Amino acid sequence: MMQGYVNKNCEATILVVVRNNAKLKSISAVIGTGFTSFLSLPNDIITEFGLPWSYRDRGTLGDGSEVLFDIYDAVAIWDGKFQEIEANSAETDPLIGMSMFRGYRLQVDTIEGGLVIITDLSDLVGNQSKGKCLFSERNVASSIVKPILRFRIQSSLTVV
């Protein structure tokens, strides 16, 4: 399990450790649920670590505009393990994306100072679900519809 907190701007944050060779750096990153990659880092951190350039990719921002990102190879310590990831170069505060959360549960108490808890789902439901979606549309729909149908049936009864 990993923990972070909600900052004064109501952003969920977590510390992530980035490594390159013998260098380690702890970075506070905002969790971006609309960011599908792993991690974005400003150029000064990428340069400081000498991260190797990998390729350039097009990304769509929240406002619908498209930009090109340079992608670098990096290693992050995630849940106590080294994980090879891609780091997008972006001149913003570091952002951690949803690719880092695959196979994990993210819980956020959305108040200033609130707790952010990240739990490995294999700890909860077994290793067979790691990296897979736990709920298909069919399962979610049936879990929502059945209680609604049950409620409608029960609420239509007349008590005399």
Residue 106 lies in a domain: yes
The count of residues in the chain is: 160
Please report which confidence band the pLDDT of residue 126 belongs to, taking 50, 70 and 90 as the band edges.
Answer: low
Q: What is the pTM of this model?
A: 0.72
Q: Are 61 and 40 in contact (CB under 8 A)?
A: no
Q: What is the Cα–Cα distance from 4 to 133, expressed in whole angstroms? A: 24
Range(s) of the domain holding residue 89: 2-124
Total domains in the fold of the chain: 1
CATH number at residue 58: 2.40.70.10
Q: Each residue of 33-59: pLDDT tens digit?
A: 988 899 999 999 999 999 999 999 888
Please report which confidence band the pLDDT of residue 148 belongs to, taking 50, 70 and 90 as the band edges.
Answer: very low
Q: What is the DSSP letter of 160?
A: -
Residue 31 lies in a domain: yes
Q: Are 20 and 74 in contact (CB under 8 A)?
A: yes
Q: What is the Cα–Cα distance from 30 to 17, expressed in whole angstroms? A: 14
